[in-house]
Chain A
Amino acid sequence: MSLLTLTDLSLQIHKLPILSAVSLRVDAGEIVAITGESGSGKSMTAMAVMGLLPKGAVASGSIRLGDRELLQTSEADMCTIRGNDIGMVFQEPMTALNPVQTIGQQVAETILIHERTSRAEAAARAAETLARVGLPADRFPLSRYPHELSGGQRQRVVIAMAIALRPRLLIADEPTTALDVTTQAQILTLLRDLTRDMGMGLLMITHDLAVVADMADRIVVMRSGEVVEEGQTQALLTGMQHPYTKMLFAASSHEVALPALPTPEPLLQVAGVCRDYRLPRRTIFGKPGSFRAVRDVSFTLHRGERLGLVGESGCGKSTLTRAILGLEQVQQGTITLGQAPVFTGDKPNLEVRRRMQVVFQDPFGSFNPRHRVDRLITEPFHLLPDPPKGRARENAIAEALIAVGLTPEDATKYIHEFSGGQRQRIAIARALIIRPDLILFDEAVSALDVSVRAQILDLLADLCRAYDLSYLFISHDLSVVRTVTDRVLVMQAGQIVEQGPTAAVFSDPQHSYTKTLIAAAPVLPDLDALRRSKTHA
Chain B
Amino acid sequence: MRRNLIIGTALSLLVVIAALVSFVWTPFDHTSLNIPAKLQTPNATHWLGTDHFGRDIFSMIMVGARTSIAVAFVAVGIGMMTGVPLGLWAAARKGTWLDEVIMRGNDLIFAFPSLVIAILITAIFGAGAVNAIIAIGIFNIPVFARITRGAALSLWEREFILAARVAGKSAARISAEHILPNVMNLLIVQGTIQFSLGILAEAALSYVGLGAQPPTPSWGRMLADAQTLVSIAPHMALIPGFAIIVTVLGLNLMGDGLRDYLDPRLRVTRT
A–B contact, 8 Å CB criterion (strictly below): yes
Q: Give A contacts to B, CB under 8 Å.
A: 325, 327, 348, 350, 353-354, 357-358, 360-362, 365-370, 379-380, 382-383, 430
- Please state if B166 and A327 are interface contacts (CB–CB under 8 Å): yes
User: In the assembly, what is the distance between CA of A380 and CA of B166, in Å?
Assistant: 8
- Please state if A365 and B158 are interface contacts (CB–CB under 8 Å): yes
Using known A-B contacts A370-B181, A370-B182, A382-B168, determine if residue A430 contacts B162 with beta carbons closer than 8 Å: no
- Please state if B163 and A379 are interface contacts (CB–CB under 8 Å): yes
Q: Which of A362, A369, A383 contacts B167 (CB 8 A)?
A: A383
Shortest 9 CB-CB contacts between residues of A and residues of B: A366-B159, A360-B159, A379-B167, A365-B159, A383-B168, A380-B167, A382-B167, A368-B160, A350-B168
* Residues in B neighbouring A353, C-beta threshold 8 A: 166, 168
- Please state if A361 and B182 are interface contacts (CB–CB under 8 Å): no
Q: Which of A325, A327, A367 contacts B160 (CB 8 A)?
A: A367
* Residues in A neighbouring B159, C-beta threshold 8 A: 360-362, 365-366
- Please state if B163 and A358 are interface contacts (CB–CB under 8 Å): yes
Whole-angstrom distance from the CB of B21 to the nearest CB of chain A? 38
> A366-B160, A367-B163, A368-B178 known; 14 other A-B pairs, CB under 8 Å?
A325-B166, A327-B162, A327-B166, A353-B166, A357-B166, A360-B159, A361-B159, A365-B158, A366-B162, A367-B160, A369-B182, A370-B182, A379-B169, A383-B167
User: In the assembly, what is the distance between CA of A459 and CA of B166, in Å?
Assistant: 23
Which B residues from 168 to 207 make CB contacts under 8 A with A? 168-169, 178, 181-182
B93 at the interface (CB under 8 A from A): no
Whole-angstrom distance from the CB of B87 to the nearest CB of chain A? 19
Whole-angstrom distance from the CB of B28 to the nearest CB of chain A? 50
* Residues in B neighbouring A382, C-beta threshold 8 A: 167-169
Q: Identify the closest chain A residue to B95 (Cβ).
A: A278
B104 at the interface (CB under 8 A from A): no
Q: Identify the closest chain B residue to A350 (Cβ).
A: B168
B164 at the interface (CB under 8 A from A): yes
Using known A-B contacts A365-B158, A368-B182, A370-B182, determine if residue A360 contacts B163 with beta carbons closer than 8 Å: yes
Whole-angstrom distance from the CB of A446 to the nearest CB of chain B? 13
* Residues in B neighbouring A350, C-beta threshold 8 A: 168
* Residues in A neighbouring B182, C-beta threshold 8 A: 368-370
Interface size of B by CB at 8 A reads 14
* Residues in B neighbouring A361, C-beta threshold 8 A: 159
- The number of residue pairs between A and B whose CB atoms lie closer than 8 Å in the complex comes to 47
Whole-angstrom distance from the CB of B172 to the nearest CB of chain A? 13
Q: Identify the closest chain A residue to B170 (Cβ).
A: A382
B165 at the interface (CB under 8 A from A): yes
Could you pull out 11 A-B pairs where Cβ atoms are within 8 angstroms? A353-B168, A360-B159, A360-B163, A365-B159, A366-B162, A366-B163, A368-B181, A370-B181, A379-B164, A383-B168, A430-B163
Q: Give B contacts to A, CB under 8 Å.
A: 158-160, 162-169, 178, 181-182
Whole-angstrom distance from the CB of A373 to the nearest CB of chain B? 13
* Residues in A neighbouring B181, C-beta threshold 8 A: 368, 370
* Residues in B neighbouring A379, C-beta threshold 8 A: 163-164, 167, 169
Whole-angstrom distance from the CB of B187 to the nearest CB of chain A? 14
* Residues in B neighbouring A348, C-beta threshold 8 A: 168
Whole-angstrom distance from the CB of B262 to the nearest CB of chain A? 12
* Residues in A neighbouring B162, C-beta threshold 8 A: 327, 358, 360, 366
User: In the assembly, what is the distance between CA of A348 and CA of B169, in Å?
Assistant: 11
User: In the assembly, what is the distance between CA of A356 and CA of B171, in Å?
Assistant: 20
User: In the assembly, what is the distance between CA of A366 and CA of B168, in Å?
Assistant: 16
- Please state if A365 and B160 are interface contacts (CB–CB under 8 Å): yes
Whole-angstrom distance from the CB of A363 to the nearest CB of chain B? 9
User: In the assembly, what is the distance between CA of A362 and CA of B157, in Å?
Assistant: 12
* Residues in B neighbouring A327, C-beta threshold 8 A: 162, 165-166
* Residues in A neighbouring B178, C-beta threshold 8 A: 368
Whole-angstrom distance from the CB of A366 to the nearest CB of chain B? 4
* Residues in A neighbouring B158, C-beta threshold 8 A: 365-366
Q: Identify the closest chain A residue to B158 (Cβ).
A: A365
Q: Identify the closest chain B residue to A379 (Cβ).
A: B167
* Residues in B neighbouring A325, C-beta threshold 8 A: 166
* Residues in B neighbouring A380, C-beta threshold 8 A: 166-167
Q: Identify the closest chain A residue to B169 (Cβ).
A: A382
Whole-angstrom distance from the CB of B160 to the nearest CB of chain A? 5
Give the most central of A350, A361, A379: most B CB within 10 Å. A379
User: In the assembly, what is the distance between CA of A358 and CA of B182, in Å?
Assistant: 23
Q: Identify the closest chain A residue to B164 (Cβ).
A: A379
Q: Identify the closest chain B residue to A326 (Cβ).
A: B166
Give the most central of B163, B166, B169: most A CB within 10 Å. B166
Whole-angstrom distance from the CB of A440 to the nearest CB of chain B? 9
Q: Identify the closest chain B residue to A430 (Cβ).
A: B163
Whole-angstrom distance from the CB of B169 to the nearest CB of chain A? 6
User: In the assembly, what is the distance between CA of A361 and CA of B162, in Å?
Assistant: 12
* Residues in B neighbouring A369, C-beta threshold 8 A: 182
Whole-angstrom distance from the CB of A94 to the nearest CB of chain B? 16
Whole-angstrom distance from the CB of A182 to the nearest CB of chain B? 26
User: In the assembly, what is the distance between CA of A366 and CA of B163, in Å?
Assistant: 7
User: In the assembly, what is the distance between CA of A68 and CA of B238, in Å?
Assistant: 64
Whole-angstrom distance from the CB of A277 to the nearest CB of chain B? 12
Give the most central of A325, A362, A382, A430: most B CB within 10 Å. A382
Whole-angstrom distance from the CB of A351 to the nearest CB of chain B? 10
Whole-angstrom distance from the CB of B204 to the nearest CB of chain A? 38
Q: Identify the closest chain A residue to B263 (Cβ).
A: A369
User: In the assembly, what is the distance between CA of A327 and CA of B156, in Å?
Assistant: 13
* Residues in B neighbouring A430, C-beta threshold 8 A: 163
Whole-angstrom distance from the CB of B203 to the nearest CB of chain A? 38
Whole-angstrom distance from the CB of A156 to the nearest CB of chain B? 28
Using known A-B contacts A368-B178, A370-B181, A370-B182, determine if residue A358 contacts B166 with beta carbons closer than 8 Å: yes
